[in-house]
Amino acid sequence: MRKYGKFAALIVVVIGTLVWLAFAGSGDSKTYYKSIAELSQMGDRAYGTRLRVGGDVAPGSIQHVDGKVLFTLKQDTRTLLVAYSGIDPLPDTFRDGAQALADGKMDRDGTFHASKISAKCASKYEAKPQGLPSGQPSVHSGKPSV
Amino acid sequence: MENLGSLAILMAFCVALYATLASVIGRVRRKPFLMESGRRAVYAVWALVTIASAVLVHALLTGDFRFAYVAEHSNNALPVLYKFAAWWSGQEGSLLFWMWLLSTYTAVVVFTNRRRHRDMMPWVIGVLTTIEVFFLMLNNFVANPFKLLANEGLIVKVADGNGLSPVLQYPAMAIHPPMLYLGYVGFAVPFAFAMGSLITRQPGDSWIHTTRRWTLVTWLFQGTGVMLGAAWAYHVLGWGGYWGWDPVENASLLPWLSGTAFLHSVMMQEKKGMMKVWNMVLISTTFFLCILGTSMTRGGLVQSVHAFAQSEIGKYFVTFLALGLAATTYLILDRLDYLKSEAQLESVISRESSFLFNNLILLASCFAVLWGTLFPKISQAISGDQISLDADWYNRLMVPIGLFLLFLTGVGPLFAWRRTSTDRLRRNFQWPGIAAFALVVVLYAAGIHEPYPLISFGFCLFVALTVIVEFYKGANSIAGRTGMNLLRAAVELTHRNTRRYGGYLVHMGIVLIFIGFTGHAFNQSEVKEMSQGDTMRIGRYELRMASLEQGENPNYMWYRGIFQISKDGHSIGTLQPEKRLFKASKESTSEVAIRERPNEDLYVNFGGMSDDGQRAVIQAFVNPLVFWVWMGGLVLIGGTLICLVPSKVKMQYARTQVAGIAKQHVDLRAEQ
């Protein structure tokens, strides 16, 4: 099987290079996902790491102050105050009640300083939590009933 | 009407189940009437799913807002195109659309093979109808599109629906899902044939011949779908780029990458009888990546811009994937004897070797993208923390991979089978190699010192020259013999071997796309808050805001900046980016203004108004060479279409044909 030696060597070189590229310096590329609940449980570990927190934008909480955008993220019963001061404009789908992700770092003053905001994509492949459009009715399957 | 729809999909579910059982039992017990019944059941499933789809589409077009789905995804003011497209713009409807495509494909497969492959077909049908059963199960019991709105037991009808988000009301976005689905669903067919071939222990390659065109068309749709998504992201979203390595973007790319590997490795099997096991693994991987892709877009697996919440439906897909993978793995391992290679690898400088490395690198890229996409789940399993990897990580891996692939694209087709002589190497590669090196020197002297762009441009020229020389040599030879002019001879050359020369054109398209990608290394961007009369400088351009206007109509409020653009001091026209804030949905869209030219795009986005409402936040980008990404995509499509045209001359090549497999040592010598 001597002739396979060259192939094996080349394959090892290619794969080895890729694995090295994947792991070297990936530390800078990592962002930790946390829910608001998990964030409060992180304690001191929360400060200084790049985090990504998700939640719903609390209605009426969006404020534009001093070149920063302040809003509150809400998930279940927990809330998080977020300050975004990045230069990129906010995504088009960012509004009251939208699901949003904030990338950034937690500050000791209790505010989450976001460097990037993403808001949920406009397509509705997700079943909404309540599963219905803006009206009150609940979803009913199949038969009419009077 | 909703009852008709519900009944139709429920019946379809039962009939599909029957079709699976009839085909498989009929085949195992050798009952021709059962197998025929199974075939007819496939047509019945198609008819039923079509009825159900028609009911939904009718409800969407007429605005029947008793349906929860219609109320969610359509509204009265929506243009007709998007009312129709609402069929696939939401969870339930898109799953029904997937099912409709699958039932259509299955019916076509049954019809076109009604007199062929009699041994395999019942299994092929069985695999396809099993997939149908899964999706019909989702259609009926998990995501039913025929649900009605009700309040305390009484059906209600809302006056108007939520409609489609304005950012999606863009023609490329309307056909992006159908293109991708034609890809996702399409790969089920070669997969089913591969499984049928394994189950019936076929030693030959008939499953590959039968599905070659099918696979090529499916791959084309998949690639087009990915391109359309990128084109939409660039022209509509306003962030200046076309690919963000978002999990759902990645989900559409994964089957395309493994599908590309498959398209190449089947050539090895056809011509040399090699890589048989590998092809089975590849087509299965491609199909299961399609299922993974379908499920990732629906949330539950990984968080992304497209899918945040945990979704119920994820676990059904994961179960289906797990069962499918287990069954397929068992089948391949059990039939390994029938997949033995007919030839060996002989030299590193051979076409077999280049195919091997082509596959290796494509699968490595596929794995890398999959790893990055699933990393939050993987890291959660290991350390408890969900960690996501950003675009830089992907680019760090994908750029070298892409460059290696580009290199193979140039050298592979010109290597000989088995072993390439040094003489031939020199003949084919000397001048393209020298030209590429010269280009690199020139670019370096012109000020480009980054290694990746230099290598990329060098390889692009190298590959382009090898392709052009191939066309030239062949056309010249034909022109010499027939007296045609060179252009006609080139057409004749292509027509004689559409697979080969169509393939060269596809490679040319890839070269153009890589030129477009390389331009990204030289992107420039600026952001500025501007009021009327202000100017912004970027690259060689100067943007002067001649006026800042705003207005309102029943649908939306708008802000518009009218910019006079000059380049190197000469006025070249105006750009008018706009921001629209929709009143009903409270969402906004950017009407990006782009000046697209082959050398660079000037891209201006109206980001929004400043806090004090007096100035506009304007983002400007200079994106060199992006034009070639779209142009390359068109060439790729054209090349693939040419591949599909039957060749004028049917290629004959000597191939061993496997006569049979013996499981014991058989002594074939005459008695001595």
CATH number at residue A34: 2.40.50.140
Average pLDDT, integer, range B304-330: 79
Q: Do B397 and A18 touch (CB under 8 A)?
A: yes
Tell me the residues of chain B between 210 and 249 that have a Cβ less than 8 Å away from chain A.
Answer: 237-239, 248
Over 50: is that where the pLDDT of B563 sits? yes
**Alpha carbon of B44: minimum distance to chain A alpha carbons (Å):** 23
**Pairs of CB atoms within 8 A across A/B:** 198
Predicted confidence (pLDDT) at residue B315 exceeds the cutoff of 90: no
Closest-CA distance, A132 to chain B, in angstroms, reads 7
Q: A114 CB contacts (<8 Å, ≥6 apart)? A: A82, A83, A84, A86, A102, A103, A104
What is the rounded distance in angstroms from the CA atom of residue A92 to the CA atom of residue B588? 5
Listed residue (A134, A138, A127) closest to B159, CA to CA: A134
Residue A75 — very low, low, confident or very high, per pLDDT cuts 50/70/90? confident
Two tokens, residue B112: 């076109």
Query: Which residue is closest to B525 within chain A, CA to CA?
Result: A88
- Flag if A135 and B158 touch (Cβ within 8 Å): yes
Of A26, A92, A138, the CB nearest to B590: A92
A84 within some domain:
yes
Instruction: Indicate the range of B113-127, B296-310, B567-581 predicted with least confidence.
Output: B296-310
Residue A99 within a domain:
yes
Contact of B204 with B657, CB cutoff 8 Å? yes
Contact call for B148 and A118, based on CB within 8 A: no
- The model's pLDDT over A14-50, given as tens digits with 9 standing for 90+, comes to 889 988 888 886 766 778 888 888 887 777 777 777 8
> How much is the ipTM here?
0.74
Q: Spell out which residues of chain B touch residue A67, defining contact as CB-CB under 8 Å.
A: 610-611
Among the partner residues B155, B158, B313, nearest to A140 by beta-carbon distance = B155
pLDDT digit string (tens) for B202-221? 877 888 888 888 999 999 99
Mean pLDDT of chain B: 89
Contact A21, A40 (CB under 8 A): no
Q: Please, how many CA atoms are within 13 Å of residue B306, restricted to the half-sphere of its CB?
A: 26
Task: Determine if the pTM surpasses 0.90.
Answer: no
Q: Is B151 on the interface with A (CB under 8 A)?
A: yes
Domain assignment present for residue A47? The answer is: yes
Q: How does residue B505 score in pLDDT terms, banded at 50, 70 and 90?
A: very high
Q: What residues in A contact B404, CB-CB < 8 Å?
A: 14
| Burial status of residue B448 (CB atoms within 10 A of its CB: 0-12, 13-18, 19 or more) | middle
Domain membership flag for residue A50: yes
Residue B309 has a pLDDT of 43
Q: Mean pLDDT in chain A?
A: 74
Count of C-beta atoms within a 10 Å radius of residue B15: 25
Which of B305, B313, B349, B408 has the highest number of chain A CBs within 10 A, making it the mutation to test binding with A?
Answer: B305
CA distance A35 to chain B (A): 10
| Structural domains counted in chain A | 1
What is the Cα–Cα distance from B266 to B218, expressed in whole angstroms? 15
Task: Determine, yes or no, domain membership for A46.
Answer: yes
Q: Does A134 fall in a domain?
A: no
Mutate to test the interface with B, among A34, A84, A121, A136 (most CBs of B within 10 A): A121
Confidence of residue A53 (pLDDT cuts 50, 70, 90): confident
* For chain B, percent of residues with pLDDT exceeding 90: 62
pLDDT tens figures, B477-498: 999 998 888 899 999 999 999 9
CB atoms A145 and B237 under 8 Å: no
DSSP annotation of B161 reads -
Minimal C-alpha gap between A46 and chain B (Å): 12
**What confidence tens digit (pLDDT) does each residue in B590-631 have?**
899 999 999 999 999 998 887 777 888 899 999 999 999 999
B304: closest chain A residue by CA: A120
CA of B147 vs chain A CAs: smallest distance (Å)? 4
Closest residue, chain B, to A26 (C-alpha)? B393
Residue A48 lies inside a defined structural domain of this protein:
yes
pLDDT one-digit tens code per residue, B382-432: 888 788 888 889 999 999 999 999 999 999 888 888 888 888 888 888 999
Band of pLDDT at residue B551, cut at 50, 70 and 90: very high
Contacts of A38 in chain B (CB under 8 A): none
Least-confidence region, from A30-39, B463-472, B564-573, B641-650: A30-39
Domain of residue A97, residue span? 29-119
For residue A11, tell me if it sits in a domain.
no
Residues 6+ apart with CB under 8 A from B487: B475
| C-alpha to C-alpha distance for B624 and B603, rounded to whole angstroms | 11
